[in-house]
């Protein structure tokens, strides 16, 4: 899952901080972004073997400020609470606007 960077700035105050905390925690718990960022850092040409089934090539990823991006979209680690929060936030904002 990947989200547009602007989606992170739709909330304000404490809610935004909580979302950032959820993202940070998810990045620490899911080994996938770390493995991909390490492959980028090493200059590998392919994803690690255990991630090779991905439909996205390593060249589509970039690492910036400790986060992994697919193009300009933030890579969202596997974390049910984070993904639910992002979906709720996006859907609530769409309904409200």
Strand partners, 3: 74
Q: In the chain, what are the domain boundaries?
A: 2-96
Q: How far apart are CA 38 and CA 43, in angstroms?
A: 9
pTM over the 0.85 mark: no
Tens of pLDDT along the chain (97 residues)? 555 655 554 444 455 568 889 999 999 999 999 999 999 999 999 999 999 888 899 999 999 999 999 999 999 999 998 988 888 887 765 555 5
């Amino acid at each position: 899952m990947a989200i547009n960077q602007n989606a992170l700035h739709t909330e304000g105050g404490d809610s935004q901080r909580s979302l950032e905390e959820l993202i940070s925690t998810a990045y620490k718990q899911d080994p996938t972004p770390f493995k991909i960022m390490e492959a980028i850092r090493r200059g590998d040409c392919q994803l690690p073997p255990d991630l090779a089934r991905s439909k996205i090539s390593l060249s589509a990823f970039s690492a910036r400020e400790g986060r992994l991006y697919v193009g300009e979209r933030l890579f969202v680690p596997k974390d049910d609470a984070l993904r639910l929060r992002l979906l709720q936030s996006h859907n609530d904002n769409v309904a409200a606007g």
